[in-house]
Structure 1
Amino acid sequence: MSHPPAAGLTVAGVTPLSSVDYPGGVLAAVVFLRGCPWRCPYCQNAALRDAGVRDPDERSWGHVLEWLRTRSGLLDAVVFSGGEPLLWPGLLEAMREARGLGFRVGLHTSGMAPAALERVLPLVDWAGLDLKAPRAAYARITGQGGSADAAWESLGLLRRSPAALELRTTWHPGVLSEDELLALARELSPLKSGEWVIQAFQPTGCEDEALSASGRAHMPAELLERMRSILPGFRVGVRE
């Protein structure tokens, strides 16, 4: 079976060295791909939403791949992020080429494209899945009907795969109430165990002027403890 070539994949930007985008202090390059139809108000990469925009800093995947060849032995992993990387048909081949250079492969995804996720999962060593909200609030957060079904289908795929998984939820009390965050914790409780990180909202990169003006969010300690009590088998943490 043939797959779309990675040559047509356009890279919107690269972080050449990160120790926080792949867990365990793994040194990684982060490859950002453009395009996302969801409109989450707190998005830190809002500038990458429009797949049709072209930027002078953009480069071809072939250019990035040649650079990665020079990083062999210096970096441990390549993380594909966005935007939403699963929207690119050439992602599978790009992951295959990165693994061919000896790198582990990480994926940041919203889970909006479970069929595409299922295709690339055999090449993914670790994934960070952005769970936006409890099911009832999903469409309000993303601006897209059916987004909850897609995200939870992707969660099921990831849970059944050997890839390591981190669930993460960006939280601002003006976007997702404390009760809704607790509702999401209850929806996760049947999973029994896992890792869930609450990412406190940061205004950098956010295009929502009202949210940006509100500044960084901070997770109340009491709320965090209530979430942990609902999910005793989970590691529930905060990233601020």
Structure 2
Amino acid sequence: MRAADPAAARIGGLTPFSSCDWPGKLCAVVFLAGCPWRCDYCHNPHLLQRRNGETRWPDILRWLQSRVRLLDGVVFSGGEPLQEPALPALLEQTRALGFATGLHTGGAYPQRLRRVLSLLDWVGLDIKTDFGAYPALTHLSRSGEQAEAALHCLLQNNINFECRSSIHPHWHSEPQLAALARRLAALGVADYHWQRLRPPPSAAFPPAPAGWPAPKLVEEIAPLFQRFSYREH
């Protein structure tokens, strides 16, 4: 099959410097446009469709050349970056400049994830909820199966990764959060984090109340993992 042209990649945007998108790394974040899921709380709805923003990959590549030795790595995010056919070429070109490469994914394309693992140094996998509850959140019937397969792909391969869940009482009761964490720990996840979901203005539910989730719950979950945190920002 003919390789996709990296110059034709659908670039949704660029964050030149970030210290929070790859823990412990100073990185640039390239946002790739397109996502098959339609989560009600999506913070990047402008990236759902596969269309270009104002930036093109050749421009980003030239800019990255000027950032060599100033940045630790480049994270490809989205949207769902695995939907981009040119992602392998983008990763190869980025690594050729000497950058480490990371990926943010919801796991919608586990087979594509497997094909690019050798080009990645780190993966951040979003675990949205219990796998059986995914369709109500993503509006796609097999999304939970896909996310679970992506997790198993990471667990079966020697790659540095973290799982994180954006949590809100509209979608997650505290018993559900505890059950999800225990299931991930039982599967072998070592690095897991909760992060507060802040609904966008278009969402039909309010922000989480103060004191949620209960500090006691966070304390109970933390020992299940080598690394665990609740990120409020």
TM-score, normalized by length of structure 2? 0.92
Q: Does 1:173 align with 2:169?
A: yes
Q: Does 1:219 align with 2:218?
A: no
Return the offset for 1:47. Answer: 2.2
Which secondary structure does the structure 1 equivalent of 2:169 belong to? coil
Return the offset for 1:165. Answer: 0.5
Q: Residues 135 and 141 of structure 2 are in contact (CA less than 8 Å); yes or no, is this contact kept in structure 1?
A: yes
Return the offset for 1:214. Answer: 2.9
Which secondary structure does the structure 2 equivalent of 1:162 belong to? coil
> Aligned in 2, Cα 1:106/1:47: closer, same or farther, shift over 3 Å?
same
Matches within 5 A, 1:118-197: 118-197=114-193
CA distance in 2, matches of 1:20, 1:228: 20
| Aligned residue type for 1:227 | I
Q: Which is worse superposed, 101-110 or 113-122? A: 113-122
CA distance in 2, matches of 1:234, 1:44: 29
Q: Which is worse superposed, 2-11 or 138-147? A: 2-11
TM-score, normalized by length of structure 1? 0.89
In angstroms, what is the RMSD of aligned CA positions? 1.9
> Aligned in 2, Cα 1:113/1:210: closer, same or farther, shift over 3 Å?
same
CA distance in 2, matches of 1:176, 1:234: 23
Identity fraction in percent: 42
> Aligned in 2, Cα 1:183/1:9: closer, same or farther, shift over 3 Å?
same
Which residue, out of 108, 114, 117, partners 1:112? 108
Q: Residues 200 and 219 of structure 1 are in contact (CA less than 8 Å); yes or no, is this contact kept in structure 2?
A: no
> Aligned in 2, Cα 1:67/1:81: closer, same or farther, shift over 3 Å?
same
Q: Residues 200 and 216 of structure 1 are in contact (CA less than 8 Å); yes or no, is this contact kept in structure 2?
A: no
Q: Does 1:17 align with 2:17?
A: yes
Which secondary structure does the structure 2 equivalent of 1:59 belong to? coil
Matched length: 231
| Aligned residue type for 2:41 | Y
Which secondary structure does the structure 1 equivalent of 2:204 belong to? helix
**Map of 1:199 onto structure 2:** 195
Structure 1: 5+ residue stretches without partners: none
